Structure 1
Amino acid sequence: MHIFLGLAPRRLGKADLVLTDEDLAEADAAHPGWSPAGWSIDGAARVLALLSCAKNRPFAERFKDLRRTADMAELIALYRGLPLYPEPETLHFEVGEGLRSNIKAVFEAISHQNPYPRDHFDEHRWNHMILKALFVGSRLSPIIGLKERANPELARILVDFAQERWAAGRPLADEHWISVGPFRNDPAIKATLETAIAEGKLTEEALQ
């Protein structure tokens, strides 16, 4: 398996997958929220190989073994495949290792266009992922479930972060408020939001 992961780009190339609307619809039907859009041929082959290899070991052990020796491109492929793997509940530790990565592309392989966090993270890990996205300058809107997994604690975290940005004279994109809007009347943040709107730092539309 290690040899295949290394040879995949040389034998198959690194071109992007060419997908039709029907392909994307079938992917979403197979697992709601999953899309291989943006995947490369070699990355897709790596995921397929992992899914097809001999099942004489627990899946989490095989995944861990591959992750420990993977290069960046291999890590990205392995983590993009999370929605498709069996026994997803056994992968929490390995996913945590990916979230701690200092490589933004690896972090985004888990956090962007990937329904695994939406489906399997508890509230603490979900909120931690959103906070890390802010600190590494990663966009929030590609995170699947951003509105569905909104929670009061996350709304407060995002408002605190916004106050720090405003104090530094830095603006915020509207996507920052997707997880805040449902809790705009929370007593812990309501006054701050109303003041920000009155001062022109925030719009009503961003909270809708």
Structure 2
Amino acid sequence: MSIMYSLIDLDLKGVNGLLRCWLAQNVAKESLTWLDEKIKQIAEGNQERVFFTSFSAVPRYTGKKNLELTPEDLQAALSIQRGWFPGNWSVDQAARTLLILALPQDNVEKYLRSLEHIFTTADVGELVALYQSLPILPYPERLCARAAEGVRSNMTSVFNAIALQNPYPADYFDNNAWNQMVLKAVFVGSPLHLIVGLDRRANPNLARMLADYAHERWAAKRPVTPELWRPVGRFADTRIVADLEKVLNTPDAVQQEAAALACSQCPLPQAQELLARHPNLQSSIEQGRLTWSSFSQNRLLAFIQP
């Protein structure tokens, strides 16, 4: 057994322990006994005979209610895997993840073939569980092509399972795949602030793509989500600064705040001069009353749900 695999094995023990603990607090004892038996059978090498029937049957035994995790639970998840956020998981998704983690992993190529077969035969609900589990599966660097399939899905729930509250894309996607995912999130109306690593992975090409998308929306006389400007500010050129000036001159306070935040992150003197023309917004930013975090929590909700 390699050192790399030993480290993976240690992490998986922690993940398994957390998931089972959470399930024990949320499902009947009989359901947990059924799950434990299936996990044992799969781990012993009977995955072809047992896995698919039990994977499909999970909701009948566990139900589909939310895990209802506490802040302490979420912190425990983060201590095992950076960025792992199971706060939106349901009990059936957690149980299905335990079944996936039970698959024998010592033969890497065989394990990956089994995992790919599961993905290609899964229904929508199963796909959501599978894509949510990517950051805690072994050999994550080998799953980039599969993750990209989730981004290309025309099912919003499947796309969101990989794009939102999931650290996998930020950790493993190249810039092209990352940029396409963020642009699609804007296109389908998914909240950008739920994309893990959005600020860390911002880049000049993405800024240009988002600005071009805004122009397309304006030309069609359609609204632009104010979150679009969040990954743009640090890389805004003079053309984009002109776009931000246009947004700052709209009567919409939410749009103005987003444009001001983008200007505050732009190193160009033109952007700072533009922000200075709006002293109230500039003051709020400088004093920490207006940040992208507070914007997402407060003003954006009002924009999405007027």
TM-score when scaled to structure 2? 0.64
AA partner of residue 205 (structure 1): A
2-side partners of 1:89 and 1:41: how far apart?
Answer: 27
Cα RMSD after superposing both structures: 1.8
Q: Tell me by how many angstroms 1:97 deviates.
A: 1.6
AA partner of residue 38 (structure 1): N
Q: How does 1:152-171 map to 2 (within 5 A)?
A: 152-171=204-223
Q: How does 1:1-208 map to 2 (within 5 A)?
A: 1-55=51-105, 57-58=107-108, 59-184=111-236, 186-198=237-249, 202-203=255-256, 204-207=259-262, 208=264
Q: Tell me by how many angstroms 1:92 deviates.
A: 1.4
Q: Tell me by how many angstroms 1:55 deviates.
A: 2.5
Q: 1:80 to 1:13 in 2, by over 3 A?
A: same
Q: Secondary structure at the match of 2:143?
A: helix
Q: Give the number of the structure with larger relative contact order, counting CA–CA contacts within 8 Å between residues 6 or more apart.
A: 1
2-side partners of 1:85 and 1:6: how far apart?
Answer: 19
Identity %: 45
Q: Tell me by how many angstroms 1:154 deviates.
A: 0.4
1-side partners of 2:121 and 2:76: how far apart?
Answer: 32
Long gaps (5+) in structure 1: none
Q: Tell me by how many angstroms 1:41 deviates.
A: 0.6
AA partner of residue 224 (structure 2): L
- Judge conservation of contact 1:156–1:188 (CA < 8 Å) in 2: no
- Judge conservation of contact 1:174–1:206 (CA < 8 Å) in 2: no
2-side partners of 1:196 and 1:35: how far apart?
Answer: 33
TM-score when scaled to structure 1? 0.92
- Judge conservation of contact 1:79–1:106 (CA < 8 Å) in 2: yes
Q: Secondary structure at the match of 1:34?
A: coil
Deviation per CA, 1:76-133, whole angstroms, max 9, x where unpaired?
Answer: 0000001101111111121122111111100100000000001001100000111122
Q: Relative to structure 2, which stretch is displaced further, 29-38 or 48-57?
A: 48-57
Deviation per CA, 1:39-71, whole angstroms, max 9, x where unpaired?
Answer: 111111111111122235433222211011101
Q: Secondary structure at the match of 2:84?
A: coil
Q: Tell me by how many angstroms 1:198 deviates.
A: 4.2
Q: Secondary structure at the match of 2:87?
A: coil
Structure with more helix by fraction: 2
2-side partners of 1:141 and 1:56: how far apart?
Answer: 37
- Judge conservation of contact 2:248–2:260 (CA < 8 Å) in 1: no
Q: Secondary structure at the match of 1:78?
A: helix
Corresponding residue pairs, total: 207
Q: Relative to structure 2, which stretch is displaced further, 59-68 or 142-151?
A: 59-68
Q: Secondary structure at the match of 1:23?
A: helix
Q: Which of the two has higher C-alpha Rg?
A: 2
AA partner of residue 242 (structure 2): A
